[in-house]
């Protein structure tokens, strides 16, 4: 009986690691917030996908949102540089190597996804996700990758 219990516990542990959630759904709207402020990424994932839906009514030019991943220390410089890029470039310099992943800018009723390799991430580093639309300073969250 003890062997059966140990096998069941070990199997459950393996199943949890094999079927790790390697994606996260986010909802944004006409307010300046992501519905989730912290995303935990399981290191057993090789890639991670963010699926974002804008449930608001405002068009992209008025209240657009994107999702950008970077080290916390690089966030402000990416936002500042992105303001110069304009809406046609999603308020983002996509050639900036400090941008680890980024979605396109979306408006009300639109959806977007971004898939990125976890080979770019280092355990123990402070990562943030944020929106680069001008003035959206409250749109940020933390990535936990251990």
List the domain boundaries for the chain. 22-145
Give me the pLDDT at residue 1, please. 55
Using an 8 Å Cβ cutoff, are 9 and 114 in contact? no
Give me the pLDDT at residue 146, please. 83
Using an 8 Å Cβ cutoff, are 143 and 127 in contact? yes
- Domain 22-145 classification at class level: mainly beta
Q: What pLDDT, in 10s, does the model give residues 11-58?
A: 444 444 455 799 999 999 999 999 999 999 999 999 999 999 999 999
Q: What pLDDT, in 10s, does the model give residues 57-72?
A: 999 999 999 999 999 9
| Phi, psi angle pair for 67, to nearest 5° | -130, 120
Element (H, E) at 101: strand 101-102
Q: What pLDDT, in 10s, does the model give residues 78-125?
A: 999 999 999 999 999 999 999 999 999 999 999 999 999 999 899 989
């Amino acid at each position: 009986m003890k062997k059966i219990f140990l096998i069941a516990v070990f199997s459950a542990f393996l199943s949890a690691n094999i079927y790790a959630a390697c994606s996260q759904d986010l909802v944004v709207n006409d307010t300046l917030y992501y519905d989730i402020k912290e995303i935990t990424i399981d290191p057993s994932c090789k890639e991670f996908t963010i699926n974002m839906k804008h449930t608001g009514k405002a068009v992209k030019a008025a209240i657009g949102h994107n999702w950008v991943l970077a080290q916390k220390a690089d966030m402000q410089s990416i936002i500042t540089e992105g303001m110069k890029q304009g809406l046609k470039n999603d308020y983002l310099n996509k050639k900036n190597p400090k941008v680890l992943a980024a979605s396109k800018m979306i408006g009300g009723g639109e959806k977007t996804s971004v898939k990125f390799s976890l080979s770019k991430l280092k355990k123990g580093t402070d990562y943030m996700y944020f929106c680069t639309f001008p003035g959206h300073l409250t749109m940020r969250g933390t990535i936990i990758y251990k």
